[in-house]
Chains A and B, each alone.
Chain A
Amino acid sequence: MATDYSKYLRMEKLPLYWCPGCGNGTVLKAMITAIDELGWNTEDIMMVSGIGCSSRATGYVDFHTIHTLHGRALPVATAIKMCHPGMHVITFSGDGDSTAIGGNHFIHACRRNIDLTVIIVDNWIYGMTGGQYSPLTPTGTKASTMPRGNIDPNFDIAELAKGAGATFVARGSVADPISLKNYIKKGLAHKGMSVIDALSNCHIQWGRRNKYGDPVKLVELIKEKTVTKTKAAKMTPEELEGKYILGILHEDKEKKEYTEAYKELVEKAQNE
């Protein structure tokens, strides 16, 4: 059955203020569809965002929502989860927000393994501020602050999250929204820190500077640059150069979740 999006959106706040063709809407749709399939009540969902184009998503969804500061969604989300462990807490922010200014909070939220679902709309650029390079801007490509091509190496969000201690890590893309929705759904259902790297198109700020000003062309490029985990397993390191591996890349159901650990601490303190 088709999803009734009006159940999840603040319809009076539409239209979305994003550029036509922006991948943010695709990722948001994947998230809403995943929530719909899980049958969650909007009263039980808390969505937290930082600053940037994608972070404006919190304004459009009819959950508990807070649009915080640049890079700071995770400390706020962690606090709210600690206050209301029964709520489903989701963060929705961009690549620059999540991994540059918010990088420290990101690795520590992963380390704690607190039950949050972190959706990173990874469009390789700071869109809102005018196309400056982020830690995810592909090396060699242009940005408004890298007019001769980016010399910075990139983070691999999935490896970073896994190394830092997250217990569910997946990567999807707007070129395959059904799989993206499925990863988000599994991430939402996972008890622990789940990170979904959602590759997305910013054809305006990244695309126009790199001959991909057409959203369809850019989504095609994302398709070319991505390869599923299954296929990647049969490829050589040379063949995988510059590719993004898609799929559920890490899952650990054993590590203790943080609010559970805290609950035990409270019980211990109260029984002393």
Chain B
Amino acid sequence: MSKAEIMNGNELVSEAAIAAGCRFYSGYPITPSSEIPEHLSKRMPEVGGVFIQYEDEIASAMAAVGASYAGYKSMTASSGPGISLKQEAIGLACMMELPLVVVNVMRGGPSTGLPTRVSQADVMQARWGTHGDHMIIAVAPETLLETYTETIRAFNMAEKYRTPVYILTDAVLAHLNGRVELPDPSELEIIERTQPTVSPDEYNPYDVEKFGDIPPLPNAENFPKYKFHMTGLNKDKTGFPTVDVAAVEADEERMINKIMNNVKDIESFEYYKMDDADLVVFAYGTNAAAARVAIDEAREAGIKVGMFRPVTVWPFPEEQVAELGKTFNNMIVTEINLGQMLYEVERVTKGNVEISTVLQAAGVPIRPQQILDKIKEVS
């Protein structure tokens, strides 16, 4: 049985985190994400979890990494400038291979930018914000319900693949209040990190020979029994530093492949009215809602247009977009920035498709009319 609630995007992220088993939240106030810590400061103690408002964004991200190491499902949230500050901790979670959920309620930038206004200009930051070769998972929900379900999925993927996962929402979704039919908790699939079954003496957190590409990681209950070492340095199977060329190379590649070899499990996308379409719009996040309206209106005018919408934006849906490039003559890429995912679309379609764009970085949503005008122009 589901229950209907009036909630905004920030509250839905928070409630979904609790439903997913998150029991540690650390953050720092920043617009437009502040309702997440506000909500969780009330809720975490109720469910016996930990809430801490730290002295800064760096500390709050590092704390979430520390809690994950200690066996807790953890989350931190912020917006643009705060996410910039959290990058070193996100890289540490990549290297230590610790589950972590990071919410970026995207606002205009660069720098302080437009604190209260919408943007999708952090999608490339999500992919490449922290230094070094790494892979990342990021999801971009379009609706309030999807904000809830994608948050659950973000936690599941973080635990399953021992990796940081971004939830990319934006100022619109964060403050949009709506009636949402929340799934019944018993219907949710909640994934926990695999637990070691070997004795503590035989356990190493990166022993891929023994455990496969994603070794088990003690949860909060097992953590006190299993002593192990972790470091941000390139590590060997025991978690200790190494500069052995072959070992480093194998580990760097494994850390990327543990995600890329499981793309089929991680990917999520929607084809909207694509069956008979001869023009495709590429859109994601809340901007897809505008594209959806434009497509519906264009179809009323007799234009056969559809949409491809990635929900998992990282890893990028290379296979699907490459196929679109081969199938269609024209594609419209729209995003609330000056062209970021556009680079990915161009990269994977390899010049097979004529690409038009509806891009805008002005702190306001792209209106359906803007997308409709472009649809009419190219069809």
Could you tell me which A residues sit within 8 Å of B by CB distance?
10, 13, 42-44, 48, 51, 58-59, 62-69, 72, 74-80, 82-84, 87, 104-105, 107-108, 262, 265-266, 268-270, 272
Contact of B229 among A59, A108, A269 (CB under 8 A): A59
> CB of B247 within 8 A of chain A?
no
Please give, as numbers and ranges, the residues of chain A lying within 8 Å of B58 by CB-CB distance. 72, 75
- Kindly state the separation between the CA atoms of A44 and B92 in the bound complex, as whole angstroms: 24
Please give, as numbers and ranges, the residues of chain A lying within 8 Å of B63 by CB-CB distance. 75-76, 78-79
The total of Cβ contacts below 8 Å across the A-B interface reads 123
- Kindly state the separation between the CA atoms of A48 and B230 in the bound complex, as whole angstroms: 10
Please give, as numbers and ranges, the residues of chain A lying within 8 Å of B78 by CB-CB distance. none
Question: Please, what's the 1-or-0 string for B208-219, where 1 marks a CB less than 8 Å from any CB in chain A?
Answer: 000000000000
> CB of B275 within 8 A of chain A?
no
Closest to B55 in A: A108
Interchain CB contact under 8 A, B92 and A83: no
Interchain CB contact under 8 A, B232 and A68: yes
B224 → A minimal CB distance (Å)? 6
CB under 8 Å from chain A, chain B span 207-241: 220, 223-225, 227-233, 240-241
Contact A66 B64, CB 8 Å, known A78-B52, A269-B45, A270-B46: no
Contact of A82 among B50, B71, B231 (CB under 8 A): B50
Interchain CB contact under 8 A, A79 and B227: no
Contact of B223 among A10, A68, A84 (CB under 8 A): A84
Please give, as numbers and ranges, the residues of chain A lying within 8 Å of B42 by CB-CB distance. 269
Contact A104 B92, CB 8 Å, known A42-B227, A59-B241, A68-B62: no
Interchain CB contact under 8 A, B50 and A83: yes
20 A–B pairs (Cβ distance < 8 Å), ordered by A: A59-B241, A62-B227, A65-B230, A66-B229, A68-B65, A69-B89, A74-B59, A76-B63, A76-B65, A78-B63, A79-B64, A80-B66, A80-B70, A83-B24, A83-B70, A105-B55, A107-B55, A108-B54, A108-B59, A270-B48
Interchain CB contact under 8 A, B24 and A82: yes
Additional A-B contacts beyond A80-B66, A84-B70, A104-B56 (16; CB < 8 A) = A59-B241, A65-B230, A68-B232, A69-B92, A69-B232, A72-B62, A75-B66, A79-B66, A79-B74, A80-B69, A80-B70, A83-B24, A105-B59, A108-B54, A265-B45, A270-B48
Contact A13 B240, CB 8 Å, known A269-B46, A270-B45: yes
Please give, as numbers and ranges, the residues of chain B lying within 8 Å of A82 by CB-CB distance. 24, 50, 52, 67
- Kindly state the separation between the CA atoms of A74 and B26 in the bound complex, as whole angstroms: 14
Please give, as numbers and ranges, the residues of chain A lying within 8 Å of B48 by CB-CB distance. 266, 270
Contact A69 B62, CB 8 Å, known A79-B24, A80-B67: yes
Interchain CB contact under 8 A, B220 and A83: yes
> CB of B146 within 8 A of chain A?
no
Please give, as numbers and ranges, the residues of chain B lying within 8 Å of A63 by CB-CB distance. 227
Interchain CB contact under 8 A, B229 and A65: yes
Closest to A10 in B: B229
Please give, as numbers and ranges, the residues of chain B lying within 8 Å of A66 by CB-CB distance. 66, 69, 229-231
> CB of B72 within 8 A of chain A?
yes
Please give, as numbers and ranges, the residues of chain B lying within 8 Å of A44 by CB-CB distance. 224
Interchain CB contact under 8 A, A67 and B231: yes
Contact of A79 among B26, B220, B230, B241 (CB under 8 A): B26
Closest to A44 in B: B224
B216 → A minimal CB distance (Å)? 16
